[in-house]
Amino acid sequence: MDIITTRGLTKAYGSRTVVDSLDLRVPQGCVYGFLGPNGSGKSTTMKMLLSLVRPTRGEISVFGRPMNRETRPGLLREIGSLIEAPPGYAHLTGRENMAIVQRMLGLGDRQIADAVAVVRLQEHMDKLVRAYSLGMKQRLGIAMALAREPRLLVLDEPTNGLDPAGIEEIRELLVSLAGEGITVMVSSHLLDEIDKMASVLGILGRGRLIFQGTRTELFHRSLPDLLVDTPEPERALALGIPAVRADRGIRLSGFDDRDTARLVRQLVEHDVPVHGVRRVQQSLEEVFMDLTGREGLL
């Protein structure tokens, strides 16, 4: 079952379309990595999912119910979120902040204690939030999102500004939450971070959904470069093949299986010795860069 589905979700500000015809499908109980370069429309999409921004066009369905002004209060009770930066009143302690969330949502003491325990912030609850590190603020923000015991967590760049240890900590936390049955939708422009925690990826580029599926499906969709081992690369290049010289031969981009067969036939017909043909192993980052048109991912 899909927890979130959108159909043709679009947001335009005047003539500028920032999110264009998104058809998202976020399966239940997974960590859904929402990936895209800065400015690709991730935050706007997440705000539309939470009904903080009105879509220009399209439909949103959460837990199988349409998200609109009427259904929003009921749906938001089951969605924890952290958008753009962690909330927290700096002049209050962590405990006082959680007390505000408790009253805001009408929660019990146990729910608050559990949420604080999950993010391991118990020892710091009596400190003023202004004295918190960024990582602690992020954890407090996640505790605020978790306190309502949500079925869905929508987190916008939750590891922004964290050091590697903080990133690792948040990542482990999100994976463990998914293990408990909570669907986690997490956005990032950091590919490595998403790669280590998400089981399903949605890749956004210039407001459009470029890819959606598992990591394996993503690799299947991409077309790794072809490496032809030959001791005579100059002769191969002289045939007009669109290739560049490589370490032990030539390297070609965008060649599918049929193109590869045709290439090998052509080389053999012209007596160019072919010692081997193989695909170059691509990193996820290379796949992503190809898909997003190399828009500068970190």
Partner 1 sequence: MRAAVLEVQKMRRLRVAPVCAVMVAAVTALTCAGLMSDSARAGFGDPAAQPWETLLLSYVLVSAMTSPLLVAVLASRQVDVEHQGRGWMLSQVAGLSPGRLCRAKAAVLGAVLAALVAVQTSLVVAAGLAAGITVPLQAGIWVRYAVCLFLVDLALLCLHIWLAARVDNQLVGMGIGLLGSFCGVFSLLMPPALARALPWGYYAVVSPVAMGEDALRVITPGYGWLAVFLLVVAALFGAACHRFDRTEG
Tell me the closest approach of the beta carbon of residue 275 to partner 1, in angstroms.
60
Question: With binding defined as CB under 8 A, does residue 73 bind partner 1?
Answer: yes
Q: Which residues pair with 249 in a beta bridge?
A: 229, 246
Tell me the closest approach of the beta carbon of residue 287 to partner 1, in angstroms.
33
What size, in residues, is the chain?
298
CA distance 38 to 296: 9
Question: With binding defined as CB under 8 A, does residue 12 bind partner 1?
Answer: no
Contact 205, 291 (CB under 8 A): yes
CA dihedral in degrees (62, 43, 35, 292; nearest 10)?
120
Tell me the closest approach of the beta carbon of residue 50 to partner 1, in angstroms.
6
SS (H, E, C) 202-249: EEEECCEEEEEECHHHHHHHCCCCEEEECCCHHHHHHCCCCCEEECCE
Tell me the closest approach of the beta carbon of residue 83 to partner 1, in angstroms.
6
CA distance 227 to 22: 36
Token readout for 255 is 């060649």
| Smaller CB separation from partner 1, 130 or 270 | 130
Expressed in percent and rounded to 5, the helix, strand and coil fractions of the chain are 35, 25, 35
Token pair 């009596």 is found at 126
CA distance 287 to 93: 44
Residues contacting partner 1: total by CB under 8 A: 31
Tell me the closest approach of the beta carbon of residue 244 to partner 1, in angstroms.
48
Tell me the closest approach of the beta carbon of residue 265 to partner 1, in angstroms.
58
Residue 67 DSSP code: -
Map the footprint of partner 1 across residues 75-134, applying CB under 8 A.
76-77, 79, 81, 83-92, 96, 99-101, 103-106, 129
| Smaller CB separation from partner 1, 84 or 259 | 84
Question: With binding defined as CB under 8 A, does residue 204 bind partner 1?
Answer: no
Question: With binding defined as CB under 8 A, does residue 144 bind partner 1?
Answer: yes
Question: With binding defined as CB under 8 A, does residue 42 bind partner 1?
Answer: no
Centre a 10 Å sphere on the Cβ of residue 227 and count the other Cβ atoms it contains.
19
Half-sphere exposure of 137 (CA within 13 A, CB side): 20
| Smaller CB separation from partner 1, 49 or 170 | 49
Tell me the closest approach of the beta carbon of residue 76 to partner 1, in angstroms.
6
Pick from 3, 50, 142, 184: which binds partner 1 (CB under 8 A)? 50
CA distance 197 to 70: 34
| Smaller CB separation from partner 1, 102 or 188 | 102
CA distance 164 to 14: 39
Tell me the closest approach of the beta carbon of residue 111 to partner 1, in angstroms.
14
Pick from 23, 29, 30, 52: which binds partner 1 (CB under 8 A)? 52
| Smaller CB separation from partner 1, 92 or 289 | 92
| Smaller CB separation from partner 1, 154 or 287 | 154
| Smaller CB separation from partner 1, 98 or 191 | 98
Positions that interact with partner 1 (CB under 8 A): 47, 50, 52-54, 72-73, 76-77, 79, 81, 83-92, 96, 99-101, 103-106, 129, 144
